[in-house]
Amino acid sequence: DSGVTQTPKHLITATGQRVTLRCSPRSGDLSVYWYQQSLDQGLQFLIQYYNGEERAKGNILERFSAQQFPDLHSELNLSSLELGDSALYFCASSQTPGLGNTIYFGEGSWLTVV
């Protein structure tokens, strides 16, 4: 158990819908990351937050947004869903931003868009 908690674990929804994925980082971790894993793109970085502020952005679509709340949990919002958004979405956390930090991943949220 990495200590990073993600909900829901599985989600099936229709095209055009909106979903929210939730993440609680490890106790004491201030930095949260979101990654997407799909069959064709592999594991890709989406976005990072540190202590409530956006710190880095990757290949995140405009239909997607995220935030980190004062209690440090984070949510990833996916809207106007398309079939191609079906993927495994990971949240990860680390103590502070910095290249010397190990990043721990949650178990992921499986999203299926039908």
> Which x/- pattern over 15-34 shows residues binding other proteins (rule: CB under 8 A)?
----------------x-x-
The reply on whether position 110 binds other proteins by CB under 8 A is yes
With beta carbons less than 8 A apart as the criterion, state whether 46 and 76 touch.
yes
CB of 97 to other proteins, least distance (A): 5
Q: Return the number of the residue (55 or 73) whose C-beta is nearest other proteins.
A: 55
Q: Could you say which residues in the range 45-84 bind other proteins, by CB under 8 A?
A: 45, 48, 55-56, 58
The reply on whether position 104 binds other proteins by CB under 8 A is yes
Task: Please give the C-alpha separations between residue 100 and each of 77, 90, 94, 105, in angstroms, as whole numbers.
Answer: 29, 21, 10, 16
Helix (H, G, I), strand (E, B) or coil at 111: strand
**Paired strand residues for 78:** 19, 64
